[in-house]
Every structure is written in structure tokens, then in C-alpha cells.
Amino acid sequence: AQTVTQSQPEMSVQEAETVTLSCTYDTSESDYYLFWYKQPPSRQMILVIRQEAYKQQNATENRFSVNFQKAAKSFSLKISDSQLGDAAMYFCAYRRPNLGSQGNLIFGKGTKLSVKP
């Protein structure tokens, strides 16, 4: 079975600095999707960034980028120029490219990011 591991329960970063959140996963599949979701305090979970495993190029969304290492099964999230609004729980998730039950998301346990002014 697939598993997703986030080894950092909590992280802290100074405003305007860069922080990297770690995620590793275990799968025997060659094709899949990876995601980072953000859950601000008392607010809805939203998608930050996605990566298709067949794409070698790392995904980027403004200040958010990933370092996808397929062979190492690693999918880290880099937040550049951190802002106070980046403070949130971040969840890494894995999805098989199947419909129905085989395509459900598998989440890591989350990393709580604090941003210091």
C-alpha cells in the first residue's frame, strides 16, 4: 500500500526567508500525482501545487515550488519570500491515476508552519 511521510511535525521560518517542507512516499506505481495542500487556521484546505510523476520538470506556482525526486520518492515544497499568510498546516498527498476507489488521495500527517515577523 502507498504511504506518505512528512517527517517534520512543525517548522518555523522568518518572514521573507525561504523554507522547505519534506515529504517522502512509498509506491510501486510509475505513474501518479503528488500534491501539497495548505490548511490555514480555521480556514478551508486549498491546493497549493500539484506534480504529475511523468513530468520531469518541477512544478512552480509563484512563490511555491517543488523538488520532485522520483527515484528517491521525495517531494519537498519550497516556499520563497515567506509571508505571514503562509502560516498553516501543510499536507502532502499522493494519488494514483485511476478513477474510483483506486484514485483516492493518501495524505501525510502534516507539517505545521509558523512564520515569524
Partner 1 sequence: DVKVTQSSRYLVKRTGEKVFLECVQDMDHENMFWYRQDPGLGLRLIYFSYDVKMKEKGDIPEGYSVSREKKERFSLILESASTNQTSMYLCASSSGAISYEQYFGPGTRLTVT
Instruction: Output 63 or 109, the one with its CB closest to partner 1.
Output: 109
List of residues 6+ apart from 23 with CB closer than 8 A: 4, 5, 6, 34, 36, 74, 75, 76, 77, 92, 108
For the record, the C-alpha cell of 47 comes out as 491546493
Q: What is the dihedral of CA 38, 68, 80, 82, to 10 degrees?
A: 30
**Interface with partner 1 (CB under 8 A):** 9, 33, 35, 37, 43-47, 50, 91, 95, 97, 99-101, 103-105, 107-110
Instruction: Output 46 or 117, the one with its CB closest to partner 1.
Output: 46
Instruction: Output 60 or 103, the one with its CB closest to partner 1.
Output: 103
**Smallest distance from the beta carbon of 16 to partner 1, in angstroms?**
29
**Smallest distance from the beta carbon of 65 to partner 1, in angstroms?**
18
**Smallest distance from the beta carbon of 46 to partner 1, in angstroms?**
7
Closest CA to 14 of 80, 64, 78: 80
